[in-house]
A and B are shown apart, each in its own frame.
Chain A
Amino acid sequence: MINNPSHPKKGNLKSKDCKFSKAGVEYIDYKQTDILERFVNDQGKILPRRVTGTSARHQRQLSTAVKRARFMAMIPYVIENLR
């Protein structure tokens, strides 16, 4: 996340294209935590569409996938901020 080179908030968003549509994804699996973590900020919040460029259909799928992964304790609900 914070050390993630492809994090969308780090100015790496080159295109406003939906990455899922481009790759032809039909179903976003909650078990692929490495993908989900890229669409989450360093507090663990789901990033908005305007930041990631995800299409509406895939954003809906993504949010259910993130919520399922959180329930199964694969990704955290909140990440405590270190001050």
Chain B
Amino acid sequence: MKKDFYEMTYILNPVLEEERFSELVSFVNKLIEDNGGEIVEVDEWGVKKLAYDIDKKSTGFYVNMYFNAPAPAIAVVERNMRINDDIMRYLTLKYDAKMQRYYELRKKGDLPVIFDDADAETENEDDN
């Protein structure tokens, strides 16, 4: 079956023990693998402050991951994640050609620089 490249970010309930986090991460990974997907990269960002409260919590445990999966798997994975109360938010994106090129660049670490902060500082000095 044709597989697409996906990115998924999800937020776990922060009021859990350390072991539960890794349990939940492997739960999600297993869910994807059981539905014919393969994990490419999993990046745990750890507990971060949220910009606004979700379910009366001001922090969340962020996990960012990349995987290949057939399209029907996404519906199954998302349904299971919605049911799980410890997963507060999730966002799945299908990567098109441009986004995949961006992903390759990011892995190599030469993303295009949009703001040259060094320049901005010298400009400010001129103003003074």
Q: Interface residues, chain A, CB within 8 Å of chain B?
A: 5-6, 12, 19-20, 23-27, 29, 31, 35, 38, 68, 70-77
Contacts and interface: CB of A to CB of B under 8 A. Distances in A.
Contacts of A76: 51-52
B99 A27 contact: yes
Given A26-B98, A26-B102, A76-B52, A71 B89 contact: yes
Contacts of B102: 26-27, 29
Contacts, number: 52
B115 A38 contact: yes
Secondary structure call for the A interface: loop
A73 B11 contact: yes
Nearest to A11: B127
A74 B44 CA distance: 15
Contacts of A6: 115, 120
B29 interface: no
28 contacts: A5-B124, A12-B120, A19-B114, A19-B115, A23-B112, A23-B113, A26-B99, A26-B101, A26-B102, A27-B98, A27-B99, A29-B102, A29-B106, A31-B9, A31-B64, A35-B114, A38-B115, A71-B89, A72-B11, A73-B11, A73-B51, A73-B52, A73-B60, A75-B51, A76-B51, A76-B52, A77-B51, A77-B52
A31 B93 CA distance: 12
A62 to B, nearest CB: 11
B91 A73 contact: no
